[in-house]
Structure 1
Amino acid sequence: MAGFSAHRIANASVYLDGNSFFGRCEEIDLGSVKTVMSDFQGLGLVGLIELPDGIDKLEGKIVWNSLYYDAAKKLATPMKSVQLQCRSSVQVVNSSGLVDEIPLVTMMTVTFKEYALGNYKPRDPSKFESPFSATYVRQILNGEEIMLLDYLSNIFKVGGVDQLSKYRKNIGQA
């Protein structure tokens, strides 16, 4: 009988343009790949259904535990994209304890949308939020590509399977 194993991610590290920001981020939200849906109604259908229309914009944010000059230079430049990488270790646990740790790497091309100047209170550490929009994301778990989404090249792969090959062919892009 095969045993159950739980996967757990409890921490991560953030890199901007290849530079480590170890210990300087309090939180990162990489966003969600969301499908844009629209209602479809047709004669003879007993109800209204939703059909996919494409992929929504991808937005996320980094919460910094202070202001750092090397990060601020990248965050305050809205006309230049930044290579963001989030690396974490997935703990694999079963009934005998920790049995493995596997890498999870998410690579994104992002543009920061706001530059926070700060909010200050006595005896309360300041936090700085940096929302971003992404045009590229690639996620790899233990060496296996989960997803690749390149908005500007009309590329969307899940588990290595091209989800848009017929679409690109139909519009003369293949």
Structure 2
Amino acid sequence: MESVAINRITNAKVYIDGNILLGQVEEFDLPDVKFKFSDYKALGMTGSAEFFEGLEKLEARLKFNALYKDVWAKAAEPGKVVNLMMHAQQQEFLSSGRAEPKPVVIHVSGAFKNVPLGKFKQQEPIDVEMNMAIYYVHLLLDGQSVMEIDILSNIYKVNGTAVTSI
């Protein structure tokens, strides 16, 4: 009988330029890596095809529960690149029990696109969302590099191997 592994991540820590944002970030939406494809058709072909052309722009979103001086000071400088790191533990559940948790680390670098001052309602936490243009993403699972994208350096790697120039 084949064993099924169920993986779960239920919490994470977020750091900005090496400083922890513990208890400050409610949500962290990391970039969706979307591939660009272009149509190709030529004489003699019975149809058309799509081929990889590069990546769409990368964006991230952070939701905060209050205004934090250190974060807003970085965000208020247009074009200033900041480094974010998300660190989590991935739990793996097997039919034989729970395995050792494995680290999940995602590094992103980019610039804030907005500086919100919040939406205030009586007796409710404020709702503050910041968006970032992302230039660099690096996903590490259990200490191994799975995907690395550096738009400005023209790097796109999967499992440490260059896939294509972008």
Q: Same fold, TM exceeding 0.5?
A: yes
After TM superposition, give the deviation of residue 47 of structure 1 in Å: 2.7
- The residue aligned with 2:116 is 116
Shifted more, 69-78 versus 41-50: the winner is 41-50
Where 1:100 maps in the other structure, the secondary structure is coil
- The residue aligned with 1:149 is 149
Instruction: State the identity as a percent.
Output: 38
After TM superposition, give the deviation of residue 25 of structure 1 in Å: 0.6
Does the aligned pair in 2 maintain the 1:136–1:151 contact within 8 Å? yes
Distance 1:11 1:43 in 2: 54
- The residue aligned with 2:100 is 100
- The residue aligned with 2:14 is 14
After TM superposition, give the deviation of residue 41 of structure 1 in Å: 1.8
Shifted more, 7-16 versus 117-126: the winner is 117-126
After TM superposition, give the deviation of residue 93 of structure 1 in Å: 0.5
Change (3 A) 1:37 1:103: same
5+ residue gaps, structure 1: 169-174
Structure 1 length-normalised TM: 0.89
Runs of 4 or more consecutive aligned structure 1 residues displaced over 6 Å after TM superposition: none
- Could you list the per-position Cα deviations for residues 1-37 of structure 1 after superposition, in whole angstroms to 9, with x for gaps in the alignment? 4411111111111100000001111100011111111
Structure 2 length-normalised TM: 0.93
- The residue type paired with residue 81 of structure 1 is V
After TM superposition, give the deviation of residue 95 of structure 1 in Å: 2.1
After TM superposition, give the deviation of residue 120 of structure 1 in Å: 1.1
- The residue aligned with 1:62 is 62
- The residue aligned with 1:42 is 42
Does the aligned pair in 1 maintain the 2:31–2:134 contact within 8 Å? no
- Could you list the per-position Cα deviations for residues 80-125 of structure 1 after superposition, in whole angstroms to 9, with x for gaps in the alignment? 1001101111000112432220000001111000010111122221
- The residue aligned with 2:136 is 136
Residues matched between the structures, number:
166
- The residue type paired with residue 118 of structure 2 is G
Distance 1:100 1:44 in 2: 57
Where 2:10 maps in the other structure, the secondary structure is strand
- The residue aligned with 1:74 is 74
5+ residue gaps, structure 2: none
Does the aligned pair in 2 maintain the 1:78–1:113 contact within 8 Å? yes
Where 1:152 maps in the other structure, the secondary structure is helix
Distance 1:22 1:97 in 2: 30
Distance 2:135 2:81 in 1: 9
- The residue type paired with residue 125 of structure 1 is P
Where 2:78 maps in the other structure, the secondary structure is coil
Shifted more, 74-83 versus 19-28: the winner is 74-83
